[in-house]
Chain A
Amino acid sequence: MSDDLDALKHATLASLAEATDLRAWDAIRVAVLGKSGSLTALLKELGKTAPEERKARGAALNVLKTELQAAIDARQAELEAAALEARLAAERIDVTLPPQPRAQGLIHPISRTMEEMAAIFGAMGFEIAEGPDIEDDWRNFGALNIPAHHSAREDMDTFYVPAPEGEARRRVLRTHTSPVQVRSMLTRTPPFRVIVPGRTYRADHDATHSPMFHQCEGLVIGRDITLGHLKGCLIDFLRAFFGVTDLPVRFRSSYFPFTEPSMEVDIGWSRKTGEIGGGTDWLEILGSGMVQPKVLANCGIDPREFQGFAFGMGIERVTMLKHGIPDLRPFYESDLRWLRHYGFNPLSPAMLHEGV
């Protein structure tokens, strides 16, 4: 190799080694291989070389070019790696810093229970029926075989608002969800199955009573619905709702004006530990019965043609039992601490395939 080429090679390799950043590196690349680079210039001058020397000179230049190109590329890779290292080091953050909080929202336990009821009864072919909270007294009382002189109609039990213009009778805040039974029978064509979760009102306020609370009513009307179906439906529900497959369920004779036969339903539990399904005690959980023939008739259904059953339960009560919530009043107080404690994740709604 000629001396000048050798010198160029060594000078280039030396300056590449000295280059500590990509800018210096690029200057070297341009100075050697650029349009007016030193090697480029030598290549351009090749034509002026004597013909006998040209071949050898050409070969030497090409070898040098390949060598220098490789050295330049290698240095580029080294410098880029170093630059990335430096950048990563510079970009280090304190990963223990607290992030911006994302507020955690939640679903109220009453809504959750209603969802669970919809899921379980839905699987049994029920639809959800609804009606207004402010009712006329025929739908709340009269149609349900609760006569005018019944004590439930007294001011001490029932809230009233003034009669609408042109009507004689005060409206009531519905004392149960049963008026929706009446609405359902008047508007639906049997057979049908509905549940009615909703707000109810009674003039009672102490540690275990709230002037507003929630009930879930159920009504099944068909041609051949028997008391056996009532039992089966409620046992199926209670076992699914409480997640106890062998939950003991007991039916006791009782009385409600709108059903006959009427029965109270108890579930097995332990009074001492509160465990549902454990222990040897009984806990009253809901009222039920075969729909009174007069109630069917009041609502335009001939009891010779259709029969069925109805039931009603307190939503707060079953929620308290299921989740071990000791007090009723915090349900309505909207104390954020309580809501956070007992609330449910909105992204995990009640679905049978995920388990209610």
Chain B
Amino acid sequence: MKFTLSWLRTHLDTDASLETITDTLTMIGLELEGVENPATSLAGFQTAYVVEAVQHPNADRLRACKVDTGTEIISVVCGAPNARTGLKVVLGLPGAVVPANGMQLKVGEIRGVKSEGMMCSTRELGLGDDHDGIIELPDTAPIGVPFAEYAGRNDPVIEIAVTPNRGDALSVRGIARDLAAAGIGTLKPFAPAPIEARFASPLGWAIEMPQSCPYVLGRVVRGVKNGPSPDWLQQRLTSIGLRPINALVDMTNFFTIDLGRPLHVFDADKVQGGTLTFRPGQGETFEGLHGKTITVRPEDCAIADASGVISLAGVVGGESTGCDENTTSVFIECAWFNPVSVALSGRFHGVASDARARFERGIDPALMPQALDAATAMVIELCGGEASDVASAGAPPAWQRSATLRFERLASFGGLDVPADEAIASLERLGFTVTARDDASVTVSVPPWRNDVAGGTPLEPFAGLAPDRLDAVTAGAAAMEPEADLVEEVLRLRGLDAVPAVSLPVDGAIPAATLNPSQLRRSLARRVLASAGMAECVTFSFMPRDVAALFGAAPDALHLSNPIASDLDQMRPTAIATLALAASRNVARGIASLALFEIGPVFHASHEDGQPMRAAGLRVGQPARHWQGAAAPTALDAKADVLEVLAALGVPMAALSITADAPGFYHPGQSGLIRQGPKTVLASFGALHPKVLAAIDLPGPAVAFEIHLDAIPEPKRRKKSQPDLPAFQPLSRDFAFVVDETVAADAVLRAASGAERGLIERVSLFDVYQGDKLEAGKKSLGIEVVLQPRDHTLTDAEIEAVSAKIIAAVAKATGAVLR
């Protein structure tokens, strides 16, 4: 919302400085967006007089002028056709910057004639579109006066952001009222004189859509002469960036800004038949004043005459009945439209008009008769003519509401103890009127322009609330919301800075844990993976649908209805996918080797909560060569990452099992699932499938993992048992088993560990051999078994017995023979 300081002063009696005014606006919720004084851009331009204008000796289209600046006569070359002797003009002197193009003026010579200044058009000064010639000032204009001052442009333009609840602040008067209430000056009275009706209105209204248009007033003024509006009005409009059109239209724009009261003017002679009807659209079309064709729908409130639809109520008027310079009889519309109807129609048709902005926030329903009188008076003042009586239809919407403030709530809710009298005075300055008061509370009626206070929009309660709970909370909201509105008004005007800050009281000196177990798991996993040399990433939750499909699934349920870009249209099935895309970008930038991870949600249509939390990681590329050698990542590196995290999260590692049925985006022969028990999958790991790598243009090797953090059981918080610290030395024995190459190493290790549970402390694999010393299809696995005696040193016979058991157990489980 833009307005000028001088416009504000037509409603506000104040001698406060501009800075005080703008600071106050910001603090009371009308946030300052900017202040600009056009005089700044007009510096260096002044009024002047063309003493003589003659044909340029060397150029057909130029004139050589002698111009009186008020202090001297200078020579100016001018190309404007209207530069002539005796004209009063706007002259830019050397050093001035032309607002329209940023060019700095200097003394020059044009085709052999000296030019010491520039006479300007409206457009060059950034004051309008007129570029037919230089500005012609009236003969009465003084010479040598700064143009900004002469033209009344030394008037700061203030722009504020108006929040959606404050329709009343989309008017200069509303802003003035708020400032006055905040102690900046006094609001001037607004009391337009009643208009004398000279004849009965030949046009009337019919309302067939009362939910959208409950109330409308209108009045014909006949015998008007439309034309350009006077300078003061044009200047009001141009100062805030509106284009003057003609007096009748300019009048409506003026009241839209001045009172926040959009009006519409029909050329009464162009209206067909005697009645304008508000009714649902039926697919008809009309040409809007914004230059576009509108097709009205049944949910739109259209205005129709005998010829059909001519306007879209509250949003945009129609070309066919618009006022132009030939208009001699005008019908002024002053209506109240349902804010939601206007918002939905305006949004659907893509029209963002000043009228719509005000109607959809809600306008003052009580101001309508006075606003119509003020508008009529201005039409008569600007264009002459005489007014009819008022044609009306419907009834004003009910706006009367009251609200009660218990004074103690200012402190117990608002945190500031405000004396009752001061609180009431604040409300009264805003236009609230006291209807009842006692020691503890005051009841006020809400002014009609404040539909945000005690507005009573309906609740949307949780569907699962028990009926008695619903009754209680409904009553609670009805009681508390209007009071909260009043507390807000009182605090807003006093400034929230006045409320003393109070630190939150704490229950005890030491707070309880902030993170729950699931959050703690993520936090730990993040530190473990970063400590393992991986860089944490945050990638988008959405990704290209075709790539998502490569990584598992791209269900319709997770396909965005309105993606912002075609490559951000599917919720990711795994963060491995978005990490792989990130890795691909890094490789394209020349980073050959990298390790990335991310902890965040992934999206599954079938998952019970749809959004499991997972830790995903990716190791990619051949590391830089090193004199000691550098190994490329393998599937087992990804497995090691997983095991490190699981161990840190307290998962009992001995009970884990590995199966080779990882998802299809992994290399089928180099991937696995890590399971706890038969059902629970804790993680997947492996090399990425070459097909996937090719599709996303990621050079391998690339290995990845995904840890299902939600599936990890909470570690038991029992006290640890006593540690097992036997006094006898452990001893170790090595075995080499030959097995079929398809036998899993894990099966050999497990069989060996289980051979004599009380004695075997640990089994580890130290060698895997496949080659020409063995028959084809076989491999040799070298394992070390560590025995831990508990109550005596083992005899050779006992060691032999254990060895035999180990060999037998491994043979039984895997068909192995001792090499």
Using a CB–CB cutoff of 8 Å, the interface residues on chain A facing chain B are 97-98, 100-108, 110-111, 115, 118-119, 121-128, 130, 132-134, 138, 142-143, 145, 147, 149, 151, 154-155, 159-162, 164, 170, 173, 186, 193, 199, 201, 203-205, 211-212, 214, 220, 224, 226-233, 235-236, 250-255, 260-264, 290, 292-294, 296-305, 307, 331-337, 339-340, 343, 346-347, 349
- Residue contact B515 to A336, C-beta cutoff 8 Å: no
* Selected A-B contacts with CB under 8 Å, 15 pairs: A133-B601, A170-B561, A226-B414, A226-B502, A229-B415, A232-B503, A251-B497, A255-B166, A261-B414, A261-B492, A290-B413, A300-B461, A302-B472, A339-B536, A347-B527
For residue B166, which residues in chain A have a CB less than 8 angstroms away from its CB?
255
Of B491, B531, B538, B562, which contacts A346 at CB under 8 A?
B531
- Residue contact B416 to A228, C-beta cutoff 8 Å: yes
User: How long is the Cα–Cα vector from A299 to B496 in the complex, in angstroms?
Assistant: 28
For residue B84, which residues in chain A have a CB less than 8 angstroms away from its CB?
none
- Residue contact A212 to B540, C-beta cutoff 8 Å: yes
Select from chain B the residue with minimum beta-carbon distance to A284.
B31
- Residue contact A334 to B582, C-beta cutoff 8 Å: yes
Contact flags B486-515 to A (C-beta < 8 A → 1, else 0): 011001100011011111101100011111
For residue A102, which residues in chain B have a CB less than 8 angstroms away from its CB?
533
- Residue contact A336 to B591, C-beta cutoff 8 Å: yes
User: How long is the Cα–Cα vector from A235 to B457 in the complex, in angstroms?
Assistant: 33
For residue A293, which residues in chain B have a CB less than 8 angstroms away from its CB?
476-477, 480-481, 484
User: Cβ of B696 < 8 Å from any Cβ of A?
Assistant: no
User: Cβ of B541 < 8 Å from any Cβ of A?
Assistant: yes
Given contacts A103-B534, A128-B515, contact A261 B484 (CB under 8 A): yes
B427 CB to closest chain A CB (Å) equals: 14
Q: Which of B202-236 contact A (CB under 8 A)?
A: none
For residue B475, which residues in chain A have a CB less than 8 angstroms away from its CB?
304
User: How long is the Cα–Cα vector from A267 to B413 in the complex, in angstroms?
Assistant: 24
- Residue contact B457 to A147, C-beta cutoff 8 Å: yes
User: How long is the Cα–Cα vector from A19 to B166 in the complex, in angstroms?
Assistant: 107
Of A101, A333, A339, which contacts B535 at CB under 8 A?
A339
For the complex with contacts A101-B626, A336-B594, 11 further pairs of A-B residues with Cβ separation under 8 Å are: A133-B603, A161-B561, A211-B540, A226-B413, A228-B416, A231-B501, A255-B164, A262-B488, A293-B481, A302-B472, A335-B586
- Residue contact A186 to B496, C-beta cutoff 8 Å: no
User: Cβ of B469 < 8 Å from any Cβ of A?
Assistant: yes
Contact flags B449-492 to A (C-beta < 8 A → 1, else 0): 00000000101111101000100111111011100110110011
User: How long is the Cα–Cα vector from A39 to B491 in the complex, in angstroms?
Assistant: 112
- Residue contact A212 to B586, C-beta cutoff 8 Å: no
User: How long is the Cα–Cα vector from A290 to B497 in the complex, in angstroms?
Assistant: 15
User: Cβ of B165 < 8 Å from any Cβ of A?
Assistant: yes
- Residue contact A298 to B557, C-beta cutoff 8 Å: no
B593 CB to closest chain A CB (Å) equals: 9
A66 CB to closest chain B CB (Å) equals: 40
- Residue contact A332 to B540, C-beta cutoff 8 Å: yes
B177 CB to closest chain A CB (Å) equals: 15
User: How long is the Cα–Cα vector from A303 to B523 in the complex, in angstroms?
Assistant: 36
- Residue contact B514 to A127, C-beta cutoff 8 Å: yes
A344 CB to closest chain B CB (Å) equals: 8
- Residue contact A193 to B504, C-beta cutoff 8 Å: yes
For residue A128, which residues in chain B have a CB less than 8 angstroms away from its CB?
514-516, 519
- Residue contact B541 to A303, C-beta cutoff 8 Å: no
- Residue contact B476 to A302, C-beta cutoff 8 Å: yes
For residue A255, which residues in chain B have a CB less than 8 angstroms away from its CB?
29, 163-166
- Residue contact A103 to B533, C-beta cutoff 8 Å: yes
Given contacts A134-B571, A160-B562, A293-B484, contact A107 B530 (CB under 8 A): yes
User: How long is the Cα–Cα vector from A118 to B611 in the complex, in angstroms?
Assistant: 22
- Residue contact B535 to A336, C-beta cutoff 8 Å: yes
User: How long is the Cα–Cα vector from A159 to B512 in the complex, in angstroms?
Assistant: 37
Using a CB–CB cutoff of 8 Å, the interface residues on chain B facing chain A are 26-29, 31, 163-166, 340, 343-344, 347, 411-416, 457, 459-463, 465, 469, 472-477, 479-481, 484-485, 487-488, 491-492, 496-497, 499-504, 506-507, 511-516, 519, 523, 526-527, 529-542, 556-565, 568, 571, 579, 582-583, 585-586, 589, 591, 594-596, 599-601, 603, 609-611, 623-624, 626-628, 630
Given contacts A128-B516, A138-B460, A254-B163, contact A300 B530 (CB under 8 A): no
User: How long is the Cα–Cα vector from A302 to B474 in the complex, in angstroms?
Assistant: 8
A130 CB to closest chain B CB (Å) equals: 8
Given contacts A227-B414, A333-B582, contact A98 B562 (CB under 8 A): no
- Residue contact A159 to B479, C-beta cutoff 8 Å: no
For residue A236, which residues in chain B have a CB less than 8 angstroms away from its CB?
503-504
User: How long is the Cα–Cα vector from A327 to B514 in the complex, in angstroms?
Assistant: 31
- Residue contact A251 to B537, C-beta cutoff 8 Å: no
- Residue contact A126 to B514, C-beta cutoff 8 Å: yes
- Residue contact B473 to A302, C-beta cutoff 8 Å: yes
For residue B459, which residues in chain A have a CB less than 8 angstroms away from its CB?
294, 297-298
User: How long is the Cα–Cα vector from A162 to B165 in the complex, in angstroms?
Assistant: 31
- Residue contact B414 to A143, C-beta cutoff 8 Å: no
For residue B512, which residues in chain A have a CB less than 8 angstroms away from its CB?
125, 127
Given contacts A126-B514, A232-B503, A254-B29, contact A149 B340 (CB under 8 A): yes
- Residue contact A108 to B501, C-beta cutoff 8 Å: no
- Residue contact A298 to B506, C-beta cutoff 8 Å: no
User: How long is the Cα–Cα vector from A142 to B457 in the complex, in angstroms?
Assistant: 12
A267 CB to closest chain B CB (Å) equals: 14
- Residue contact A297 to B586, C-beta cutoff 8 Å: no
Given contacts A105-B531, A297-B473, contact A124 B501 (CB under 8 A): no
A249 CB to closest chain B CB (Å) equals: 8
For residue A307, which residues in chain B have a CB less than 8 angstroms away from its CB?
413
User: How long is the Cα–Cα vector from A115 to B565 in the complex, in angstroms?
Assistant: 32
For residue B600, which residues in chain A have a CB less than 8 angstroms away from its CB?
199
Select from chain A the residue with minimum beta-carbon distance to B609.
A132
- Residue contact B477 to A303, C-beta cutoff 8 Å: yes
Select from chain A the residue with minimum beta-carbon distance to B469.
A300
- Residue contact A154 to B347, C-beta cutoff 8 Å: yes
Given contacts A227-B413, A264-B31, contact A125 B511 (CB under 8 A): yes
A248 CB to closest chain B CB (Å) equals: 11
For residue A101, which residues in chain B have a CB less than 8 angstroms away from its CB?
623-624, 626
User: How long is the Cα–Cα vector from A161 to B572 in the complex, in angstroms?
Assistant: 13
For residue B477, which residues in chain A have a CB less than 8 angstroms away from its CB?
293-294, 296-297, 303
For residue B484, which residues in chain A have a CB less than 8 angstroms away from its CB?
260-261, 290, 292-293
Given contacts A105-B530, A293-B484, contact A228 B500 (CB under 8 A): yes
- Residue contact A252 to B31, C-beta cutoff 8 Å: yes
User: How long is the Cα–Cα vector from A203 to B563 in the complex, in angstroms?
Assistant: 8
B678 CB to closest chain A CB (Å) equals: 29
B712 CB to closest chain A CB (Å) equals: 17
User: How long is the Cα–Cα vector from A294 to B456 in the complex, in angstroms?
Assistant: 10
User: How long is the Cα–Cα vector from A106 to B537 in the complex, in angstroms?
Assistant: 9
User: How long is the Cα–Cα vector from A5 to B583 in the complex, in angstroms?
Assistant: 85
User: How long is the Cα–Cα vector from A111 to B615 in the complex, in angstroms?
Assistant: 14
Q: In the complex, which of the residues A128, A132, A155, A159 has the most CB atoms of chain B within 10 Å of its own CB atom?
A: A159
For residue A211, which residues in chain B have a CB less than 8 angstroms away from its CB?
540, 542, 564-565, 568
For residue B462, which residues in chain A have a CB less than 8 angstroms away from its CB?
138, 143, 186, 298-300
A168 CB to closest chain B CB (Å) equals: 13
For residue B491, which residues in chain A have a CB less than 8 angstroms away from its CB?
227, 253, 261
- Residue contact A108 to B537, C-beta cutoff 8 Å: yes
- Residue contact B488 to A260, C-beta cutoff 8 Å: yes
B619 CB to closest chain A CB (Å) equals: 9
User: How long is the Cα–Cα vector from A145 to B481 in the complex, in angstroms?
Assistant: 12
Select from chain B the residue with minimum beta-carbon distance to A156.
B562
- Residue contact B536 to A263, C-beta cutoff 8 Å: no
Of A103, A162, A298, which contacts B461 at CB under 8 A?
A298
User: How long is the Cα–Cα vector from A230 to B460 in the complex, in angstroms?
Assistant: 26
- Residue contact B511 to A343, C-beta cutoff 8 Å: no
For residue B500, which residues in chain A have a CB less than 8 angstroms away from its CB?
228, 231
For residue B27, which residues in chain A have a CB less than 8 angstroms away from its CB?
252-253
Select from chain B the residue with minimum beta-carbon distance to A182.
B462
User: How long is the Cα–Cα vector from A133 to B558 in the complex, in angstroms?
Assistant: 12
Select from chain B the residue with minimum beta-carbon distance to A301.
B473
User: How long is the Cα–Cα vector from A101 to B594 in the complex, in angstroms?
Assistant: 13
